[in-house]
Chain A
Amino acid sequence: MPDPTPMPTQTAEERPILEVERLVKHYPVTQGVLFKREVGRVKAVDGVDLELRRGETLGVVGESGCGKSTLARLLLAAEKPTAGSVRFEGRDIFALSRRDLRALRRRIQMVLQDPYSSLNPRMTVGDIVGEPFDIHPEVAPKGERRGRVKELLEVVGLDPDHVNRYPHQFSGGQRQRVGIARALALRPDVIVCDEPVSALDVSVQAQVMNLLSDLQNEFGLAYVFIAHDLAAVRHISDRVAVMYLGKVVEIGDEEQIYEHPTHPYTQALLSAVPVPDPDSRGWRDQITLEGEPPSPIDPPSGCRFRTRCWKAQDVCAEEEPALTERDGSAHPSACHFAAEVEDTVTT
């Protein structure tokens, strides 16, 4: 792809395109109307380290409230972090000047969950997909835009002749394709997908996931694929990070996480997902967790999962387990007692 980039390109091939280091985002909780007092902080993201390599898909899974969407917003520099850094090709995105940040935004794009509310109903599909060119006119000169938009629609499998239609004239799956075309317009290197298929019907989800895979092969895109659907994440990801209450508890390649999980939370999560096969297992022979995730305002001391964990001991309340390789785990797992169990996924 011809892509004149104003960012300094890294010479070292090995360097990950995105590096997330000790990233923290706290939101203050205030009380009072006139004199706001801070009474607590929602620790949405609380010390996350991640890497994204060129052309790969990193899945991020976790339940609601685990901080995965806040992480997405931070990766796009849509929020300022409380602490920590995100480096894109070696440069901290939060230390960039306005101009450089604008240039950066060409290279990291986003696909949102809800194709109904993420497209302006009063703009035609052509205008929606072409809008990024208004902000970054250097990508496509005025005369070429119409042609580029039509090309993009074709790339995502829409009829280029529908360029003058409005979003309401499209189905949910088609709208998600419009959102993807818009994300592709500036030829980014990274696309952050926040629950891109969860609002779609089952039969349409597969279409969109296949499209994402095809586009990755064609354009060498790297994805951060954030979802609560563990099966979808397995299907699309090269590596997977499991989040719980603002922290990554386990990270590894797709096989390590799904076939050899060592963190009790990952094991419970995988065991809770129903498998579309009546012979596979029933509801009775799973690890069922008690209760629900605690509030991120006041997370438990030590290991945050200990309040729901069947392996918890005194040390878990005192000492926070680091996300590293351990005796029981060949890949990083944040559990003092990390170990594989037999057959988490199948009975």
Chain B
Amino acid sequence: MEPTKDELTKNKAKNKAEDGAPLLEVEDLHVRFKVRGRNVHAVNGLSYTLAEGETVAILGESGSGKSVAAQAVMGILDTPPAEITRGAVRLRGEELLGLPERRRRTYRGDRISMIFQDALSALNPVFTVGDQICEMYEVHRGMRRKDAKAKAVELMERVRIPSARQRLGDYPHQFSGGMRQRIMIAMALALEPDVLIADEPTTALDVTVQAQIMRLLADLQDELRMGLVLITHDLGVVAGVADRIVVMYAGTVAEQAPARELYARPAHPYTVGLLASVPRLDRRSGPLVPIKGAPPNPAALPPGCPFQPRCPRAEAICSEERPPLIQVGTAGHRAACHFAEEVYGAGSDANADSDG
């Protein structure tokens, strides 16, 4: 990759300058929506860090705020109605929130990029995929059309699209779901970003295609040493790829831990409940132990711990005081539960008797 704009060289120089800072740092992020005069608190204090080459999974159900948080980090939230009320997003130590839009724009695609669940609606239907990939190089790198085209073909080959050169002139609808997802990945990786945010990248795909895409992402990540933020609701997908997992519930972090640790010894009753409620492919599971009730409405969160109305071990304190994130066990394992120590102590047996 030859950097053609001096802006790029400036950026890369800056990277060197602040070497001590983590690649991506999200701190105490709060996002609020104003809907018909009411405040909907979508994200209420999300923090995580991401290192080079690392995969952090943000796991959560619908309404947990995982996608909104990702859009805030990417800088593509519509404001209004959304409003980032507190927090920081730092890329190699540089604060991104509050940057003027013009400057922020040079970061998108170049330093941080994002892929979405639904590739068909993320791609522009009236331009060929070649046009859309070339545009990345023309706008950000100031390349000439001919060079950009050569780059686009190279990129499409890299994401393993068969007969890439011939397909450059095809429109998004002419590709299958899996191929479209590859094109979106190609566009996201065109400028070799430091951070890739993947928001449910395989949810709309069949399992055999999901496996292809996840493998492709893992290979490309190894190759480019980028940090990957994987947003998903699928406990299986996460287990296969994540180094660390952040479990979100009602806009806050319920628990975060290294992947292995989270599955082996969850310390938050919500995580315990999630693990007990998914059927397993690799064994005939006994009766599932579901979490009772449904996720709360972000417009009317319960007082205290947001999980308290559904929690099997809730006590009086849970509806009075919001539990802080406390450390349990190994470094990097933290859970927001008043009884995190006990849940953690119960170890993996907790799966079986979480209802008791």
Counting CB contacts under 8 A, is A174 at the interface?
yes
Q: How far is the CA of A284 from the CA of B216 in the complex (A)?
A: 10
Q: Which of B215, B234, B279 is the one whose CB lies under 8 Å from A284?
A: B215
Whether A286 contacts B211 in the complex (CB less than 8 A), given A204-B290, A275-B280, comes out as yes
Cβ-based interface call for B237 (8 A):
yes
B80 interface residue (CB < 8 Å to A): no
Residues A275 and B239 in contact in the complex (CB < 8 Å), given A202-B61, A206-B290, A231-B280: yes
Cα A206 to Cα B295 in complex, Å, equals 14
Query: Bound complex: CA of A236 vs CA of B279, how far in Å?
Result: 9
Nearest chain A CB to B189's CB is how many angstroms away? Answer: 18
The contact of B288 among A210, A272, A274, by CB within 8 Å, is: A210
In chain A, positions 253-282 with a C-beta closer than 8 Å to chain B are: 254-255, 258, 268-282
In contact, A292 and B287 (Cβ under 8 angstroms): no
Check A288 for interface membership: any CB of B closer than 8 A: yes
Q: Contacts A228-B206, A272-B211, A274-B240: A210 and B279 contacting too (C-beta < 8 A)?
A: no
Q: Contacts of B238 on A, CB cut-off 8 Å? A: 276
Are A273's CB and B281's CB within 8 A? Answer: yes
A272 in contact with B207 (CB, 8 Å): yes
Docked Cα-Cα span, A172 to B293, in Å, equals 11
Q: Given A171-B294, A277-B239, A63–B207 Cβ distance below 8 Å?
A: yes
Query: With a CB–CB cut-off of 8 A, which chain B residues contact A236?
Result: 279
Say yes or no: B236 contacts A273, CB within 8 Å.
yes
In the complex, which residue of chain A has the Cβ closest to the Cβ of B279? A235
A-B contacts counted at CB < 8 A amount to 154
Q: Of B82-90, B269-277, B332-340, which stretch is located at the interface?
A: B269-277
CA distance A271 to B207 in the complex (A): 9
User: In the assembled complex, how far is the CB of residue B132 from the closest CB belonging to chain A, in whole angstroms?
Assistant: 21
Return A239 CB to nearest CB of chain B, in Å. 13
Q: Considering only CB atoms and an 8 Å cut-off, how many residues of chain B contact the other chain?
A: 50
Does B280 contact A276, Cβ atoms closer than 8 Å? Answer: yes
1/0 contact trace for B236-269 toward A, CB 8 Å?
A: 1111111000000000000000011001000000
* Selected contact of B295 from candidates A203, A210, A232, A286, CB within 8 Å: A203
> Which of B277, B284, B285 has the largest count of A CB atoms less than 10 A from its CB?
B277
- What's the minimum C-beta distance from A264 to chain B, rounded to whole angstroms? 12
User: Does B149 lie at the interface of the complex (its beta carbon under 8 Å from any beta carbon of A)?
Assistant: no
A87 to chain B, nearest CB (A): 31
Residue pair A210, B287 in contact (C-beta under 8 Å): yes
B186 to chain A, nearest CB (A): 17
Q: Interface majority SS on B: helix, strand, loop or mixed?
A: helix
A269–B218 touching, CB < 8 Å? no
Query: Nearest B residue to A290 by beta-carbon distance?
Result: B212
Contact status A206-B288, CB under 8 Å: yes
Contact B290 A276 (CB under 8 A): no
Any A CB within 8 A of the CB of B235: yes
- Nearest CB on A from B351, distance (A): 11
Q: Does A270 lie within 8 Å of B281, measured CB to CB?
A: yes
CB distance A206 to B206 under 8 Å? no
B310 nearest CB neighbor, chain A only: A203
Select which of A64, A206, A286 is within 8 A of B277 by beta carbon: A206
**Segment 63-104 of B: residues with Cβ below 8 Å from A:** none
Which of B62, B176, B294, B295 touches A174 (beta carbons < 8 Å)? Answer: B294
A207 near B61 with CB under 8 A, answer no
Contacts of A288 in B (CB 8 A): 208, 211-212, 215
Interface presence of A209 (CB below 8 A): yes
Neighbouring A residues of B280 by C-beta, 8 Å: 231, 234-235, 275-276
In the bound assembly, the distance between CA atoms of A286 and B282 in angstroms comes to 14
Given contacts A272-B211, A345-B281, contact A206 B259 (CB under 8 A): no
- Given A276-B280, A282-B240, A292-B178, answer yes or no on A203-B290 (Cβ-Cβ < 8 Å): yes
* Most chain A CB within a 10 A radius of its CB, from B211, B212, B273: B211
The answer to whether A274 and B234 have CB atoms under 8 Å apart is yes
A224-244 contacts to B, CB under 8 A, are 228, 230-232, 234-236
A168 to B202, CA, bound (A): 29
The answer to whether A280 touches B209 (Cβ under 8 A) is no
* Closest chain B CB from A346 CB (angstroms): 5
- The distance in angstroms between the C-alpha atoms of A207 and B295, with both chains bound, is 13
Q: Are B273 and A203 in contact (CB under 8 A)?
A: yes
List the B residue with the shortest CB-CB distance to A204. Answer: B294
- Residue B210 lies at the interface, judged by CB distance under 8 Å to chain A: yes
| B229 on interface, CB distance cutoff 8 Å | no
The answer for the CA separation of A277 and B233 in the assembled complex, in Å, is 15
A77-92 near B? 1/0 per residue, CB < 8 Å: 0000000000000000
* B313 nearest CB across to chain A (Å): 16
Which residues of B (193-240) have their CB < 8 Å from a CB of A?
206-212, 214-215, 218, 233-240
> Can you list 14 residue pairs at the A/B interface with Cβ under 8 Å?
A201-B61, A201-B294, A202-B234, A203-B294, A206-B290, A231-B236, A268-B208, A273-B236, A274-B234, A276-B236, A277-B239, A282-B240, A284-B218, A292-B179
Write the residues of chain B forming the contact surface with A, with a CB cutoff of 8 angstroms. 61-62, 176-179, 206-212, 214-215, 218, 233-242, 259-260, 263, 273-282, 284-285, 287-292, 294-295, 310
Q: Give the B-binding residues of A (Cβ under 8 A).
A: 63-64, 171-174, 201-207, 209-210, 213, 228, 230-232, 234-236, 254-255, 258, 268-284, 286, 288-289, 292-293, 345-346
